[in-house]
């Protein structure tokens, strides 16, 4: 792609604006650890929620969606659409509890819910495990994707692209260490506007390149014959006889995967940088609204520009060895020269928003949950801010090294991800059942890792094969559940004083805390379980109605599109009415 002086000026202006934001928030971020990591818990819902969306919109996300569409058509997106139910559960059952807990990180939760050495082990282990290896693998993965994009777009070598990426990492790290979460949030908002504007523009030009929507549908129907028994590319629901998504695999995705599996960014009940945004919100209402807006934008508003470009790429570049590169090829060939600088800035924005969040979030684990908790517990806020800045630099350096060796790490990453299978039920129930203790979590982690790794290394089941993936999930979840339930009943419950303190602090539903509720009758627990259930169901209808309704309208299937959109909007009205009725916070007597 040939870039003009004007294009480079646009890219330079983008970087300059991000840097200006970093300097603007420098003094505020340096005032305390709470300001650095949580923006003083004073973030409005629209900013926190948009930051969540921007973070999950990485540079490689449009490419990943293009690859899914190439394999499974539009229905290929069920690999991540299945998490809608999990996201809505976080909104209505957990967002207010997280904000009420008052912790700085989701890992700190371990020591307000549990006690003793097991709780300390959980906190320390997760801080290091998630903060360094998992976080840096994610960073390395995003770095590698950006390297591949730059090689295609700029026509540079891998070494040259890596040099550019290292420079972008350094700039992002500098802004993060300078401005803390405030800088991350505001740059995320700016970056999200650029990203969405440009992917929408590219979708318009891609559809135009294949002759419009109707011509695109006609040409895709011709391509369906070459796909064999895979169902139509335009189907929203997968063909359950297909090789990539047989019935058993689809059932695992929609009935098991979304709640049983821990995965970075989609933790059951919320966690990671999603939890960080909830902690930073002004209050419980803003925490709930931020998470609701994130899920609406993430699932219902954002995917279709990517999908349309992916569909066009199947027509324009059939049979690509790496079909995900079709997105970049469409951009290079069909985006007008006047918009190329903005598109480069958009990819830089997608990349930097993810990197900035991962750096700030990872540093919060290392400083708050390991350094301050176990090494230096009594230092000043200024000391911890300096430590946070040093941790950000450390993660930057480690992630750069990981990028060099990522090809050899890819297999290890696949193994690491599936070790979270089966732990989700503990993460969900620890809020709502007093009997769960630290050993419940520890045993679930150990069992999930041992079972899933054994199935892959000893019995040679492969997560890349859909049926074998389904059986890995089913067996791992079943055995892990038995193990953690046994561990829960074979070990002592947490001390009453710890349970009473947690119950009084978070006020979960009394249904699973009756014994503790009797010990602390003055605490008024949440009594909104049925309302939350109704809102959760309505939330799923809202997301899927808007998602599929938008798709049908874009594909000129007006009647079904209007019906689906109407169902989504009615569900949204039900949620608004219910939350307004009870003041957007938990109902208490």
pLDDT tens digits, one per residue of 303-346: 999 999 999 999 999 989 889 899 999 999 999 988 888 888 88
More confident residue, 464 or 113: 113
pLDDT in tens, 60-108: 889 989 999 998 899 999 989 999 999 999 999 999 999 999 998 999 9
Closest by alpha carbon to 264, among 193, 403, 365?
365
Determine the pLDDT at residue 587. Answer: 45
| Angle separating helix axes 326-334 and 303-316, nearest 10 degrees | 80
The length of the chain, given as a count of residues: 589
Q: Is the pLDDT of residue 409 over 60?
A: no
* Mean pLDDT score, 115-129: 92
Kindly state the tokens that stand for 173.
């790290």
Report whether 169 contacts 400 (CB < 8 A). Answer: yes
What whole-number percentage of the chain has pLDDT above 70? 95
Question: pLDDT confidence of 411, banded at 50, 70, 90?
Answer: low
Q: How far apart are CA 404 and CA 17, in angstroms?
A: 30
Closest by alpha carbon to 277, among 354, 361, 359, 349?
361
* Mean pLDDT score, 462-483: 92
Q: How far apart are CA 453 and CA 280, in angstroms?
A: 36
Q: How far apart are CA 27 and CA 219, in angstroms?
A: 57
> In Å, how far from its chain's centre is CA 159?
30
CB count in 10 Å sphere of residue 584: 16
Kindly state the tokens that stand for 510.
């009394």
Report whether 54 contacts 189 (CB < 8 A). Answer: yes
Kindly state the tokens that stand for 506.
């978070």
Q: How far apart are CA 267 and CA 77, in angstroms?
A: 19
* Mean pLDDT score, 467-487: 94
Calculate Rg over the CA atoms of the chain.
24
pLDDT in tens, 500-533: 999 999 999 989 999 999 999 998 888 888 899 9
> In Å, how far from its chain's centre is CA 411?
21
Q: How far apart are CA 31 and CA 417, in angstroms?
A: 37
Strand-pair partners of 143? none
Question: pLDDT confidence of 227, banded at 50, 70, 90?
Answer: low
Average pLDDT value for the chain: 89
Kindly state the tokens that stand for 464.
């890349």
54-58, 211-215, 377-381, 410-414: which is most confident: 211-215
Q: Is the pLDDT of residue 193 over 50?
A: yes
Determine the pLDDT at residue 589. Answer: 39
pLDDT in tens, 233-274: 999 999 888 888 899 999 999 999 899 887 776 788 988 888
> In Å, how far from its chain's centre is CA 297?
12
């Amino acid at each position: 792609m040939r870039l003009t002086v004007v294009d480079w000026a646009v890219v330079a202006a983008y970087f300059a604006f991000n840097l200006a934001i970093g300097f603007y928030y420098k003094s505020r971020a340096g005032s305390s650890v709470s300001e650095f990591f949580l923006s003083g818990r004073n973030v409005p819902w629209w900013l926190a929620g948009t930051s969540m969306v921007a973070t999950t919109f990485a540079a490689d996300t449009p490419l990943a969606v293009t690859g899914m569409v190439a394999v499974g058509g539009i229905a290929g997106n069920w690999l991540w659409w299945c998490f809608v139910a999990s996201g809505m559960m976080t909104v209505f059952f957990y967002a207010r509890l997280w904000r009420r807990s008052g912790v700085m990180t989701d890992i700190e939760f371990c020591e307000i819910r549990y006690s003793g050495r097991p709780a300390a082990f959980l906190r320390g282990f997760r801080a290091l495990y998630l903060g360094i290896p998992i976080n840096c693998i994610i960073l390395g993965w995003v770095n590698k994707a950006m390297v591949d994009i730059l090689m295609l777009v700029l026509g540079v070598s891998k070494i040259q692209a890596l040099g550019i990426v290292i420079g972008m990492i350094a700039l992002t790290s500098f802004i993060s260490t300078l401005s803390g979460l405030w800088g991350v949030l505001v740059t995320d908002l700016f970056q999200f506007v650029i990203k969405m504007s440009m992917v929408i523009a590219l979708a318009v030009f891609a559809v135009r390149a294949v002759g419009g929507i109707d011509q695109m549908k006609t040409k895709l129907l011709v391509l369906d014959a070459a796909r064999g028994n895979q169902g139509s590319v335009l189907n929203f629901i997968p063909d359950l006889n297909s090789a990539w998504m047989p019935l058993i695999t689809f059932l695992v995705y929609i009935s098991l995967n979304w709640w049983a599996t821990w995965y970075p960014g989609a933790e059951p009940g919320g966690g990671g940088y999603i939890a960080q945004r909830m902690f930073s919100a002004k209050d419980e209402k803003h925490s709930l609204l931020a998470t609701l807006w994130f899920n609406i934008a993430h699932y219902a508003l954002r995917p279709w520009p990517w999908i349309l470009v992916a569909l066009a790429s199947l027509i324009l570049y059939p049979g690509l060895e790496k079909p995900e590169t079709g997105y970049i090829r469409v951009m290079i060939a069909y985006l007008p020269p006047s918009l190329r600088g903005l598109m480069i800035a958009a990819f830089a924005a997608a990349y930097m928003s993810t990197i900035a969040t991962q750096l700030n979030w990872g540093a919060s684990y290392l400083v708050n949950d390991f350094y301050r908790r176990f090494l230096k517990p009594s230092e000043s806020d200024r000391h911890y801010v300096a430590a946070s800045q040093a941790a950000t630099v450390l993660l930057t350096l480690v992630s750069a090294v990981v990028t060099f060796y990522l090809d050899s790490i890819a297999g290890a990453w696949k193994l690491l991800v599936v070790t979270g299978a089966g732990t989700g039920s503990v993460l969900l129930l620890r809020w709502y059942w007093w009997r769960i203790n630290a050993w419940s979590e520890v045993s679930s982690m150990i069992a999930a890792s041992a079972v899933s790794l054994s199935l892959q290394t000893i019995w040679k089941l492969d997560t890349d094969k859909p049926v074998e993936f389904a059986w890995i999930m089913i067996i791992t979840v079943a055995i892990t559940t038995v193990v953690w339930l046994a561990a829960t009943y074979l070990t002592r419950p947490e001390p009453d004083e710890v349970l009473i303190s947690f119950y009084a602090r978070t006020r979960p539903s009394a249904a699973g805390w009756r014994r503790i509720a009797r010990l602390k009758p003055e605490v008024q627990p949440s009594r909104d379980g049925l309302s939350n259930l109704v809102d959760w169901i309505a939330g799923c209808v809202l997301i899927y109605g808007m998602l599929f309704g938008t798709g049908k309208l874009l594909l000129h299937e007006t009647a079904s599109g209007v019906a689906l959109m109407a169902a989504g909007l009615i569900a949204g009205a039900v949620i608004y009415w219910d939350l307004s009725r009870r003041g957007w916070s938990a109902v208490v007597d």
